Amino acid sequence: MKNRIINQIVLLILVFTVFTANVNAKPPKFKALVLTERGGGHEGFVVAALAWLNDFSVNHNFEITIINNLKDVDADYLSNYKLFIQLNYPPYAWTDQSKAAFERYIEKGHGGWVGFHHATLLGEFDGYPMWNWFSGFMGGIRFKSYIAARASGTVHIEDKKHPIMKGLPASFVIPDDEWYTFDKNPRSNAKVLANVDEASYQPASSIKMGDHPVIWINEKMKARNVYFLMGHHANLLKSEEFKTMFGNAILWAAGK
């Protein structure tokens, strides 16, 4: 009899605990869609970024949905998300449906966008045509070349007052990246937040642009958006500066 009463008390405590937890659970502040490029040379970065993103989303109370293709993405699908994070997925192999939905999402400001590295692999690749709208979104650029061996480089902030740069020093080193160059400078069509000092590359490289923006936003779009040229190697997630920018960008682009 005594054991039965104790068991009933324990059960009541468990039920009360679960009920209290459900009542006190806060709904997510927003939902983010994370488009990932899996496999290949960027797999290490994507895996490390997702691990960091999972912790960051818990700490800042937002929900993430991870996809690695665009077959289900249309306007209705995107309407569920306040933020679109593009982890290295290139601007080709998109369906016509997903392209149209994304263009509307950005142009109408239905949500924010944070893109990395391979998102500007613009041109004719793997049998896919150039996505001209995305090129315009990125400042009218087209991919030209890159530092295949990877190099560390010193990044200089140009707009220290922008929310994405909050808590960062004026300059810092980004490790082991694959610095892209383009056929033209996006500066005339975009607001540059940071550039890389090509003379600082370690090891040195002959592949250069001169004035070399590496973080920029397109203020002509209603959606808050930011592109980070870096995003090749997992070592980026060992950089406190990179993680700070990533976190700041998420909250800013989502309007938080």
Say if residue 121's pLDDT is above 60: yes
Condensed to tens digits (0 to 9), the pLDDT of residues 194-226 reads 999 999 999 999 999 999 999 999 999 999 999
Task: Give the pLDDT mean for 229-237.
Answer: 96
pLDDT averaged over every residue in the chain: 92
pLDDT of residue 23: 37
DSSP-assigned letter for residue 91: S
156: Cβ contacts below 8 Å, ≥ 6 apart: 170, 171, 194, 195, 196, 197
Say if residue 72's pLDDT is above 90: yes
Closest CA to 146 of 90, 189, 68: 90
* pTM for the structure as a whole: 0.89
Condensed to tens digits (0 to 9), the pLDDT of residues 151-200 reads 999 999 999 999 999 999 999 999 999 999 999 999 999 999 999 999 99
Condensed to tens digits (0 to 9), the pLDDT of residues 16-26 reads 443 433 434 68
Closest CA to 209 of 192, 233, 185: 185
Cβ burial of 243 (10 Å; 0-12, 13-18, 19+) is middle
Domain range summary for the chain, segments of one domain joined by +: 30-254
Say which residue the tokens 């370690």 belong to: 202
CA distance linking residue 132 with residue 124, whole number of Å: 11
30-254 has which fold? Rossmann fold (3.40.50)
